[in-house]
Every structure is written in C-alpha cells, then in structure tokens.
Chain A
Amino acid sequence: MKRAEPLTQLQSIEPNTGSPPLPPAASPEGAAAAPAEARSLLATAWMRIRRSKIALLSLCVVVAIMLFAILAPVLSAMSGNDPFTSNTSPDVLDDFQTPGLPLPGYMYPSAQHWLGVEPGLGRDLFARLAYGGQVSLTIALLSTAVSVVLGTVLGAAAGYFGGKTDAIISRIMDLFLAFPHLLLVLSLTPILQSRLRDTPLGEGSFLPMASLVIILGFFGWAYLARIVRGQVLSLREREFVEAARSFGASHLSVLFRQIIPNVMGVVLVYATMLIPTNISAEAALSFLGVGVKDPTPSWGQMLNAAQSGNWYLSDPWFLAVPGIMLIVTVLAFNLLGDAVRDALDPKASRH
C-alpha cells in the first residue's frame, strides 16, 4: 500500500519549501545498524561524505560561512569598519539626484569598504553582512536545537510508551502540522515579543533573537517527532530493549540510554535539513518586519532594508549582497543535508 499518511508531507510554505519531505523513515534495521554512539555515527557519515565531491564542497562552504560569521569582529576590524557607524557625508552618499544613494566609488567593493556601503545611512556592508551572519546563524542553529530536542524526546516517548501518551502526543503533532507555519509564526512573534519585553530575555537586540528562537523552535518539532515515533514503534519490540528491561532498567533509562541513541541517525539527518529551513524562516520574518530590526543586522533585516524605500531599484548591489549570501548558505546546507541523508540512510537516498 502506498498510502502516505495524510499530513506527513506538510511543509512550511515559502520560507524555503526546502528539500522534499523526508522519505518514509529508514528501516529499523538501518537505524539499529548505525552505531549507538554519536561519535561513531558522525564518523560513519564523514566516511561516506568524503566520497562525494558535491558533499565535500558543500561541507567546505558551510564551514567557511560559519567561520565568516564567527570571525565577524576580527574581519570587520581588519577592514577598518564596524556595522553600526553611519556616514552620510556628501563625499559618500549622493546629495543631488537620488539623495542617499552611494556615490559610484562607495556603492561597489573597494579597498576601504570591501562590499561598498548601504544607501541611506552609509554603513559598511561587509561588516553588516558578517555580523548579520552571526545573528542569522545563531537563530537558525538554536531554534533547530530546540526543535530537535523537543521532537526527539516527544516522538520517542510517544512511540515507546504507546497508549494514552502516544494518543495525546500524536494529536498534538497533528494539530501543530495543520497550522500554516509561516502565518502562525508571523502572527505570534509580536505577541511573544511584547510579553518578553519585561523579562531578562527582553534586553535590546537580544529580544528579537530570543523570540525567534523560541517561536521557530517551538513550532518546528512536530514533523521530526512523527518520524522518530515511527522508528521507535519498531525499535521497542527488539531484543536489546527487552534485555535492558529484564535487567531492571527503568523506562526512562531505556528511553534515554537504549531508544534515543538508536534514532540519532534519523535525527541528525532531519536536523541538517531543518537548519536551512530556519535560516530561510529568519530571513522571511525579518524581511516582513517582525523579526530582527535595524540597527541589529541579520540577512533578513538586510533584505528588508533593501526593499524599504525601494533602494534595490536604484542600488541592486544592496539587494545582491544579502541575497546571494542567503542563497549560497541555504543551498550549501541543503546539499549537505542531502549528503548526510544519503550517508546515514541509504535506503532513503535519491535514485
């Protein structure tokens, strides 16, 4: 029977419909065969990724982008600029024909401004791109971590305990999957921000980051939970679980020591695919004006700045800088995700 479950293929619309839905999860054999420890799992993945040129290239690009973001303070110090100082002097920005437009010497890359300057405020684009990368990637990685922890634990609990626990968690998953992701996240972010404002999380530039991590993390776990649940349903019938139980291990101990380590392969695959989705989601929300806001830079905020006031029409370079960065990053993560899936889950690989 090829009858897919009704909601499995639901994806978030628009912020990157992303890779196609994960194929029906790996066979239990495949997952169980994967070594139990995370280190040997990564080693297995690495061994297989090394053989594919595209996978290796995308891994290099991902590492380079991470370094670029981590080293933002160093790199922008080297270029002699910071992301917040604006320079609107008539030597830099046009004062006559199109007020605010960078003069030709400042619009494009130069020795002084490695990627030119922003129209309107004259801030250094290279520094904003690097610091923006810190913000965008931090949000994407942390929210992925939140989703992965929630999805793994809840999915494994549903599959392992079955019965009422399963029924309740599964119904919650169905509900989470029924909501259009972007729309829900979009409407709840301002609400959460207004609530967080008076808490320690609500300080300055920290507020949008914290709220995006919470919202994206909290609404992104259901799909992974469904996959993990399916895996655990068959895992729990296997001998080693029974053995652990007969030695007197508690349910919780079996869940965390026996069950969850055995689904880490699928979890790793899904986590790699969730990162680009969350990068796109941050970009989408900040672009719409509910995420990261000026003066804090993020790649989505930079897209927002390019659209606001129609700057991108007179200064297409201003759109190209964050746009190309975003495309390269999402593409590299997507290709890496495909490679990790092919490496850890050969049954699900593309033909």
Chain B
Amino acid sequence: MMTFILRRTGSLVLLLAAVSFITFTLFQLGPSDPAAAACGQECTPERVAEARVALGMDQPFFVQYFDYIRGLFSSRMIGAPGAQTLCEWPCLGKSFQTNENVADIIGRSLPYTFSMAIGALILWTITGVGLGLLAALRKGSPVDKFIVGAASVGVSLPIPVTGLFLLLLFVNQLHLLPFTTNEINSPFGPQGPGAWVANYLLPWIALAVLFSASYIRVTRTNMIETFGEDFIRTARAKGLAPRTVTFKHGVRAGITPVVTMLGMDIGLLLGGAVLTEQIFSVPGLGFTAVHAAISGDLPVTMAITMLAAFFVIVANVAVDLAYAAIDPRVRLQ
C-alpha cells in the first residue's frame, strides 16, 4: 500500500510539473504577444518594447519559466530593472488590468467556487445515484423507462438555457428566490446558512440537472451489470436479506465507476463552473477566468487554467487511492 501511495505521489509531482510547463508554453510561446496584450489596444512599438522588458519577456524562455515556478515557492521581485515591485508568495504574476497579485485574485474567488461546488455535488450525487439505483432495481419497468428517458433529456440540456430559464422562472416570475449576491460566500457568514442556500440554490440545480443525468446512466448500467454477477447470486443463495445483498454487496462493488466520475468532476468543478458562474454572476474562478480571457489578462487566465488542471490531477490520484478502500475486489497490484 505504502509503495503504491509513494508511486502515485511521485507520478503526481511529475504530471504537475508537466502541466505547469505546458500551460506556460501555450500562454507565453503560444500564438500571442503578452506584452502587446499587457500594453493595451493602442500602444506604440516603443511602449510594447518597454512592457516586454517589464514582463521579463526579453529573457530566454526557460529563465522566464523558472522565474515563474520560483514564485510558487517564495516571494520574488517582478517588473523592469529599476522599477521592480515585490510579488509576495505565492507569486503567480500580477494582473495586467489591476496590477493586483494574481494569487490574491484567486484567493478571493475560491470561496465562491467552493460554495458552488459543494452544494451542486451533494445534490447531483443524491439524485443521480439514487435514481440510477432505483432504475437498476426496477429494470424494464415504466419507472426505469421514465428515469432513462429523463436522463437522456437531462444530458442534452445546455447550462445557459437551463440557467437562464431557472432565473426567469424562480426569480423574475415567481419571486421565490433572490438574485444572487456577491456578499455571501460561506454558510458561516453573518447572514447565516439559510441565506447561503437561498443564494446558491439555483446554480446548484442548474449544475445538478446536467450532472445527475450522466450519473443516472452510469450508476444504472453498472448496477445492472453487478447484480448479474456470481457473487451476488452467492450472497442471495446464502439467504442474506435482499437489502443486505443490494447495499452491502451490490452497491459497494458497482459504485466504483461512479466514484471515478465523482473524483474527476470534483476536480473539474473546483477549477470553476465557468458557464454557471457567469450566468448567475457568482465571482468564482470560472467567472474571473472569463473576464480575464475577454480582456486579455494573461497572468490571470494562465494561473486559473493551471490551478484547474492541478485540481483535476490531484482528484485523479485521490480516486485511485479511494478505489482500494471501496471495492473489495480491487487490491493493489
């Protein structure tokens, strides 16, 4: 077990390094001129040249990359020689737009993204796994057909359409919920958990509709497969209660693909639910990334993309480790 953990962690570090390098390459060497972007639309060639020096872009590529990586471990000076300013740890560069430390911008956005992710996650896991299990247990019945049909429609609903429709119906027409506000980003804030739920309920539903649909399909398929396997028949033949067979034996074995998906989706969602945050004006990572992308604020988009890829990779390793704990058939090789 220990070697497995060590090996996975080792490959994790390598992959993270590769991701940071690729992101940096795509954004710096990619088909773009960050200096021109930093300088603005109407900028004389001389000013662009100055900006180039200020960004350290006159340096060789690898020097730039290692400077950037150094910022992840310690504070560093940033800017043109003579006009340098301190970029405090963790330094991810400074925003072209506001000159603010990118790490601060990210730190400010994270609580919103967490608030979005946690509720949506709980909602879609319960509905997705629950309905998928129900459909599998009633395979072939009208209930099953209805759930499968609903899931097919669910995966085809684009977030912008569902999101705007929910806003129109529940906020604008029925006045059941307030418009989302920037002031609430934690259930422990001064407004209390009730206001937090009311603020994030619609984004959660919008995300859950889409996600639970694919969870229903995966849960159903895998549970049906598992219920057909020999060890379930053995458990039944031993005279165990149907409930015990279903939950203790069946679900435990059939749920692993769902755990994989869940891990991946958590990783993805922590990188920001771009569309949902944009629709509901929740200033999380995704929302920040959209605005940075549109205004050409490269350090911000680059840092968020990198961070999001980190989340995905870490989630991937966490899933691998979780496997062994859940499914008794999986033993580490």
Chain A interfacial positions (CB closer than 8 Å to B):
1-4, 6-7, 9-11, 13-21, 23, 171, 174-175, 178-180, 182-184, 186-192, 194-196, 276, 280, 283-284, 287-290, 300, 303, 306-307, 312-313, 316, 319, 323, 326-327, 330-331, 334-335, 338, 350-351
Q: Which of A9, A13, A276, A312 contacts B168 (CB 8 A)?
A: A312
Residue numbers in A under 8 Å from B153 (CB-CB): 331
The reply to whether B152 and A331 contact each other, CB–CB distance below 8 Å, is yes
The CA-CA distance from A326 to B317 in the complex, in Å, is 36
Identify 4 new A-B residue pairs, CB closer than 8 A, beyond the known A2-B256, A183-B286, A183-B304: A1-B330, A2-B253, A2-B330, A284-B274
The reply to whether A183 and B305 contact each other, CB–CB distance below 8 Å, is yes
Residue in chain A with minimal CB distance to B272: A183
The CA-CA distance from A283 to B160 in the complex, in Å, is 9
The reply to whether B305 and A187 contact each other, CB–CB distance below 8 Å, is yes
Q: Would you call B157 an interface residue if the criterion is a C-beta within 8 Å of the partner chain's C-beta atoms?
A: yes
The reply to whether A335 and B152 contact each other, CB–CB distance below 8 Å, is yes
Residue in chain B with minimal CB distance to A299: B158
Contact flags B277-312 to A (C-beta < 8 A → 1, else 0): 011000000100110111010100110110011001
Residue in chain A with minimal CB distance to B22: A175
Contact flags B208-223 to A (C-beta < 8 A → 1, else 0): 0011011001100100
The reply to whether B302 and A187 contact each other, CB–CB distance below 8 Å, is yes
The CA-CA distance from A14 to B329 in the complex, in Å, is 33
Residue in chain A with minimal CB distance to B257: A4
Q: Which of B158, B257, B330 contacts A9 (CB 8 A)?
A: B257
Residue numbers in B under 8 Å from A316 (CB-CB): 168
Closest 9 A-B residue pairs measured CB to CB? A195-B31, A331-B156, A187-B301, A323-B161, A191-B32, A13-B268, A330-B156, A180-B308, A20-B217
Q: Which of A183, A189, A191, A334 contacts B271 (CB 8 A)?
A: A183
A137 vs chain B, min Cβ distance (A): 15
Of the 9-residue stretches B55-63, B84-92, B103-111, B259-267, which lies at the interface with chain A? B259-267
Residue numbers in B under 8 Å from A313 (CB-CB): 167-168, 172
Q: Would you call B205 an interface residue if the criterion is a C-beta within 8 Å of the partner chain's C-beta atoms?
A: no
Residue numbers in A under 8 Å from B148 (CB-CB): 350
The CA-CA distance from A289 to B289 in the complex, in Å, is 12
The reply to whether B273 and A14 contact each other, CB–CB distance below 8 Å, is yes
The reply to whether A9 and B264 contact each other, CB–CB distance below 8 Å, is yes
Residue in chain A with minimal CB distance to B26: A188
Q: Would you call B100 an interface residue if the criterion is a C-beta within 8 Å of the partner chain's C-beta atoms?
A: no
Residue numbers in A under 8 Å from B19 (CB-CB): 175, 178-179
Q: Would you call B49 an interface residue if the criterion is a C-beta within 8 Å of the partner chain's C-beta atoms?
A: no
B24 vs chain A, min Cβ distance (A): 13
A210 vs chain B, min Cβ distance (A): 13
Residue in chain A with minimal CB distance to B276: A14
The reply to whether A16 and B155 contact each other, CB–CB distance below 8 Å, is yes
Q: Knowing A10-B264, A17-B214 touch, does A306 contact B158 (C-beta < 8 A)?
A: no
The CA-CA distance from A316 to B166 in the complex, in Å, is 12
The CA-CA distance from A283 to B289 in the complex, in Å, is 18
The CA-CA distance from A6 to B267 in the complex, in Å, is 13
Residues from 312 to 328 in B contacting A, C-beta threshold 8 Å: 312-313, 316-317, 319-320, 323, 327
Q: Would you call B275 an interface residue if the criterion is a C-beta within 8 Å of the partner chain's C-beta atoms?
A: yes
Residues from 109 to 142 in B contacting A, C-beta threshold 8 Å: 139
Residues from 1 to 59 in B contacting A, C-beta threshold 8 Å: 15, 18-19, 22-23, 26-27, 30-33, 37
The reply to whether A195 and B32 contact each other, CB–CB distance below 8 Å, is yes
Chain B interfacial positions (CB closer than 8 Å to A):
15, 18-19, 22-23, 26-27, 30-33, 37, 139, 148, 152-153, 155-161, 164-165, 167-168, 172, 210-211, 213-214, 217-218, 221, 224-225, 253, 256-257, 260-261, 264-265, 268-269, 271-276, 278-279, 286, 289-290, 292-294, 296, 298, 301-302, 304-305, 308-309, 312-313, 316-317, 319-320, 323, 327, 329-330
Q: Which of B27, B152, B312 contacts A179 (CB 8 A)?
A: B312
Residue in chain A with minimal CB distance to B225: A351
8 A-B Cβ contacts within 8 A?
A180-B268, A186-B301, A192-B31, A288-B275, A312-B168, A326-B161, A327-B157, A350-B217
A289 vs chain B, min Cβ distance (A): 6
Q: Which of A10, A288, A303 contacts B290 (CB 8 A)?
A: A288
The CA-CA distance from A17 to B269 in the complex, in Å, is 12
Q: Which of A16, A20, A184, A312 contacts B156 (CB 8 A)?
A: A16
Residue in chain B with minimal CB distance to A191: B32
Residue numbers in B under 8 Å from A174 (CB-CB): 15
Residue numbers in B under 8 Å from A290 (CB-CB): 290, 293-294
The reply to whether A179 and B305 contact each other, CB–CB distance below 8 Å, is yes
Q: Which of B168, B309, B327 contacts A180 (CB 8 A)?
A: B309
A293 vs chain B, min Cβ distance (A): 11
Residue numbers in B under 8 Å from A338 (CB-CB): 152
The reply to whether A18 and B155 contact each other, CB–CB distance below 8 Å, is yes
Q: Which of A16, A189, A307 contacts B279 (CB 8 A)?
A: A307
The reply to whether B275 and A284 contact each other, CB–CB distance below 8 Å, is yes
